[in-house]
Amino acid sequence: MIIKHNVQLKPYNSFRTKALAKLFCEPATLDELIEVIRTHPHEKKLILGGGFNLFFTKDFDGLVIKPAMEQVKTITDDEQQVEIEVGAGMEWDALVEHCVGRGYAGLENLSLIPSTVGACPVQNIGAYGAEVSEMITRVKAVNLKTGEVEIFSNEECQFGYRESLFKRHPHYAIATVTFRLNKSFAYQEKYADLNRELEGITNPTLTQVREAVIRTRIRKLPDYRLLPNAGSFFKNPLLSWKEKEELLKVLPNTPIYNAGVDLFKTSAAYLIEKAGYKGLRRGQVGTYEHHSLVLVNHGTEEGQEIIAFAQEIQQEVKKRFGITLEPEVQAY
Ligand code: EPU
């Protein structure tokens, strides 16, 4: 495996900010991944997926590892379900297409999410009422501190809303993810936007759901290849009953969703829009005109400009509505 020096990371993050990596490699097998970790014990390490959920603010003085394993292996297969183990480097939507094409149900609502298989458990990607954690049975990862392979059950991954053990303790390089998928499918109405898109179709097929998700995403979310971005920049805030009531006093029409016992979710996009930031631009950074939760890059290479704009939004939302917005995207 080739280890490159002084690699420009701009093409490797969808916000297209610039930074140099001192060392950079793309292991194509589990053995190569283990080897590079064990032979570089003292280097700071960063595991890169598609770079769709992070951006750079300065050079990275260490080793960037971009896993490139892409195999799909069937682990179990019976009449009802199939379990497949997939390499971390596979592009996320290629996997969704692969599964939908074979009639394997579970991932279709997550169509077109820019991600890789290895990155999907880290932030527990989710959309249209589904989270990837519902389908994951096992994650195989290499511990960056010890160089040992560790296997995590679903429970051990400690999944939450855009959260996992791997996000909280970022010293693992995920090598494979195992998914359990169903061979039968019945569409469940979970999300208004998607229901609307499928209106008039009785018993939509997997392919019809995938196509509806793709249409909805294309309409609302910018393509990072045309307008660099990292999807939703902030998480939707979780609120207690009291916090929800306080918010409704200042902003009575805020969307509120149930999220558990004494737990409510509100829409970060709505708060940002009501703070006057939808489609607003500061220099080369702004929010997308059709979705205020997506920060977009109109031409800067400096990650610091994105940070400054994000902080301005956080301050304004806090000042007006008393809500703290927490970034979903990670800055390095
Ligand atoms: N809204 C506004 N203004 C806007 C956009 C939306 O007020 O400009 C309000 C509307 O009330 C709308 C509500 O926000 O009904 C929810 O909007 P949307 O359905 O687009 O979902 P979201 O909560 O903003 C989340 C995920 C997205 C995912 C969509 C669809 C997070 C942080 N984001 O966004 O995930 O695609 O749901 O399920 O949970 C991502 O994580 O990068 C991402 C794009």
For 75, 92, 295, 299, the CA distances from 141, given in Å and listed in that order, are 17, 18, 31, 36
Q: pLDDT at position 221, please?
A: 95
CA of 231 to the centre of ligand 1 (A): 10
Is there a contact between 297 and 17 (Cβ–Cβ < 8 Å)? yes
pLDDT over 90 at 125, yes or no: yes
pLDDT band of 42, cuts 50, 70, 90:
very high
pLDDT over 90 at 190, yes or no: no
Q: Going by C-beta distance under 8 Å and a sequence separation of 6 or more, which residues neighbour residue 200?
A: none
How many whole angstroms separate alpha carbon 154 and alpha carbon 147? 22
> Would you say the CB of residue 273 lies under 6 angstroms from ligand 1?
yes
Q: Is 93 left (phi over 0), alpha (psi -120 to 50) or beta?
A: alpha
CA of 271 to the centre of ligand 1 (A): 11
pLDDT over 90 at 296, yes or no: yes
> Would you say the CB of residue 265 lies under 6 angstroms from ligand 1?
no
Strand order through the sheet with 264-266: 238-239, 264-266, 256-258
Q: pLDDT at position 318, please?
A: 98
Three-class SS string for 155-173? HHHCCECCECHHHHCCCEE
Pocket test for ligand 1, best of 232, 233, 253 (most atoms within 8 A of CB): 232
Domains of the chain: 4-65 (3.30.43.10), 72-220 (3.30.465.10), 229-331 (3.90.78.10)
CA of 269 to the centre of ligand 1 (A): 6
pLDDT band of 34, cuts 50, 70, 90:
very high
Query: What's the mean pLDDT in 138-154?
Result: 97
pTM given for the model: 0.94
Name the residues annotated as catalytic.
162, 232, 328
pLDDT band of 168, cuts 50, 70, 90:
very high
> Would you say the CB of residue 236 lies under 6 angstroms from ligand 1?
yes
User: Residues of the chain with pLDDT > 90: what percent?
Assistant: 98
CA of 267 to the centre of ligand 1 (A): 7
Is there a contact between 69 and 31 (Cβ–Cβ < 8 Å)? no
How many whole angstroms separate alpha carbon 232 and alpha carbon 314? 14
